[in-house]
Amino acid sequence: MIDIAILRENPEAVKENMRKKFQDHKLHLVDEVVALDKEYREVLTKASDLRAMRNRLSKEIGQFMREGKKAEAEENKRQVTSMADELKSLEEKENELAPKIREIMMKIPNFIDDSVPIGKDDSENVEIQKYGDPYVPEYEIPYHADIIENLNGLDKASAGRTSGNGFYYLMGDIARLSSAMLSYARDFMIDKGFTYCIPPFMIRSDVVTGVMSFDEMEAMMYKIEGEDLYLIGTSEHSMIGKFKDQIIKEDELPITLTSYSPCFRKEVGAHGIEERGIYRVHQFEKQEMVVLCKMEDGMEWYNKMWSYTVELFRHLNIPVRTLECCSGDLADLKVKSCDVEAWSPRQQKYFEVGSCSILGDAQARRLSIRAKGKEGNYYVCTLNNTVLASTRAIIAFIENNYNADGTINIPEALRPYMGGKTKIEKRK
């Protein structure tokens, strides 16, 4: 949510930002909210003037009575009484206009950074840099689900009976591998100076609408029937919500947190849920990083955060690249975003394993998260980034560490979390 003062002073800049995001269908919202805001401020001014006049007249009543001016006192009483109805009407108008303005403001996208490439969708995202050499072995690498099933590590049929399509059982060394990677990601971020946190896995609707757009909410979130609670799609939701309505001491910034959670996603859209594998599923686990900082420090943290994910995947022998998200691929609250993609030697292409985003003060405005500085309170900048998402990380790990005999090498970084094992192989 942007500052409404910008809409008042420069609505054309807001419209131009919408055009860059290819959201021409939203242009009318700017004129609507400007008109509503003008009406709202007029109502506020009129109500304020009326209250001041009422207070003045009320004070005069006592003075007139002391002076024996009964007629004048009665006239003031009559005017004060008539003002009550008008004030009630103005206050009702205030209460009607305020939520309308907020609802529209929450649909207007945040300003994108000048460095963001202009493009309609993810097909126009721009490669920034590759890390590690993408390698294709001479032997065939099977589909990841076949590899895992051959190692007795995956059971989607049973999950289909218990929970439906989009769920899975991980078992044996593959389940252990999943936990090992998440534990390694946790310790990796702690070593970077981040504070480890396990947040609530359910959040209220006012937190949901504070951290994401309505479109994202509809496509992702599972609602708990009969309660004002949603299952989180990522721990970022809980972690940013932790600071709702808080004023943070400036000397406590930056706040750097790394959080573990299961993640639940409806995955509504054209891509659908994967029938056999675990690339796109309803449930997975994730290690996340979240930063709250001063606005001027935001871009420095943004570049640190995605670089940490690159470093972690390289420790796991996985080549990756970074991809700059174009304007049309940015969610409404994001200022700038990049994806980290892992190399798939089976498909001979990269696929997304994480995303890093800076959101400016958009989430902070929605959730009223401020810092107390020397010159007054101000909204903080929020950022989030995937350290490691379990299922996609498993796919990237297995393909890039797969041997011709069907075994999987375990790099040195993970061995302490795998009981010292150097390989995963099929158990008899």
pLDDT tens digits along 292-335: 999 999 999 999 999 999 999 999 999 999 999 999 999 999 99
* Cβ pair 315, 413 in contact under 8 A: yes
The fold of the 4-105 domain, in CATH, is: Helix Hairpins (1.10.287)
End-to-end Cα separation, the chain, in angstroms: 57
Q: Give domain limits for the chain.
A: 4-105, 122-424
Whether 399 contacts 277, CB under 8 Å: no
Q: Is the pLDDT of residue 271 over 80?
A: no
Inter-residue contact 154 to 148 (CB < 8 Å) = yes
**More confident: 218 or 372:** 372
Least confident window among 41-45, 87-91, 203-207, 304-308: 87-91
- Structure tokens that stand for 303 in this block: 């570049």
d(CA 280, CA 60): 72
* C-alpha separations of 241 from 224, 225, 290 in Å: 18, 21, 11
Percent of the chain surpassing pLDDT 70? 98
With contact defined as beta carbons under 8 Å apart, do 323 and 111 qualify?
Answer: no
pTM: 0.89
- How remote is the C-alpha of 301 from its chain's centroid? 16
Q: Which of 42-51, 277-286, 319-328, 377-386 has the lowest mean pLDDT?
A: 42-51
β-pair type (222-223, 230-231) = antiparallel
How many Cβ atoms sit within 10 Å of the Cβ of residue 116? Answer: 23
CA angle 133, 136, 138 (to 5 degrees): 140
What CATH number does domain 122-424 carry, 3.40.50.720, 3.90.1300.10, 3.30.930.10, 3.30.470.20? 3.30.930.10
